[in-house]
A and B are shown apart, each in its own frame.
Chain A
């Protein structure tokens, strides 16, 4: 086939991050993916760490000893931030991917309006909510304790 003589020209993973028109929805997609993977990784470790409570108080306290210190506090805060982002943006996605908040099909008249314009207020609202959670979380993690 001529295909073999041509050049494949696929963007590859680079295309997951950029390479389109660099719209804000692209960054939300990338962050959703990164936070999802980060949470999954944390969760698997978490299952092992918290399982020590089945053995008893000393095993639990020993495993909790192993995950103390400023680095772990920061790590747990990042998990909290990841949950805040993935959860709130996830709710937005659940609605959007079920066709809610993206507008009805319209007559395309220039300058074109797209579902991204209908989505924008929801995305901004979600981001504000995330920021609020991140701030309250920071106070709870680092100030009120």
Chain B
């Protein structure tokens, strides 16, 4: 795939991340100020709050979306940086494959965690 397309998606991913991660940060770190999506009170990472969010299909799907966009955005950014170090062409090819495999692997694993977490939370 050529950089014209990949970089266009890199930018688009950045914009999507902006909203999703902005919400994530507001929930996790501006809890004393805003206190959103932490129904059990206390700390946002208390199990009761994690379960409350995890029961929601909307949260689960947006987490999977954030997972995918952030992995693509971050790993393509890393690839850009590594390629600027001028590795030999075979090394570039190998790096691209390693990054693709790492990205796909982490996406599958994270999606599994989000999905099973959704079921665990729904039963809790």
Say whether A115 faces chain B, with CB atoms less than 8 Å apart: no
Which residues of chain B are near A31, meaning CB under 8 Å?
A: none
SS class of chain B's interface: helix, strand, loop or mixed? helix
B74 touches A97 (CB 8 A): no
Chain A interface bracket (under 10, 10 to 19, 20 to 34, 35 or more):
35 or more
Say whether A80 faces chain B, with CB atoms less than 8 Å apart: yes
Q: Which single residue of chain B is at the shortest CB-CB distance from A13?
A: B85
Which residues of chain B are near A57, meaning CB under 8 Å?
A: 47, 124
B75 touches A40 (CB 8 A): yes
Complex partner residue of B47 from A37, A39, A60, A76, CB under 8 angstroms: A60
Q: Which single residue of chain A is at the shortest CB-CB distance from B7?
A: A97
Which residues of chain B are near A37, meaning CB under 8 Å?
A: 77-78, 81
Which residues of chain A are near B47, meaning CB under 8 Å?
A: 57, 60-61
Complex partner residue of A54 from B18, B25, B85, B116, CB under 8 angstroms: B116
Say whether B94 faces chain A, with CB atoms less than 8 Å apart: no
A67 vs B77: C-alpha distance in the bound complex, in angstroms?
27
Lowest 5 CB-CB distances: which A-B pairs, in order? A51-B113, A144-B32, A40-B74, A54-B116, A54-B117
Q: List 15 A-B contacts (CB under 8 A).
A: A51-B109, A51-B110, A51-B112, A51-B113, A53-B113, A54-B115, A60-B50, A80-B25, A87-B18, A87-B21, A91-B15, A94-B14, A136-B33, A141-B29, A145-B32
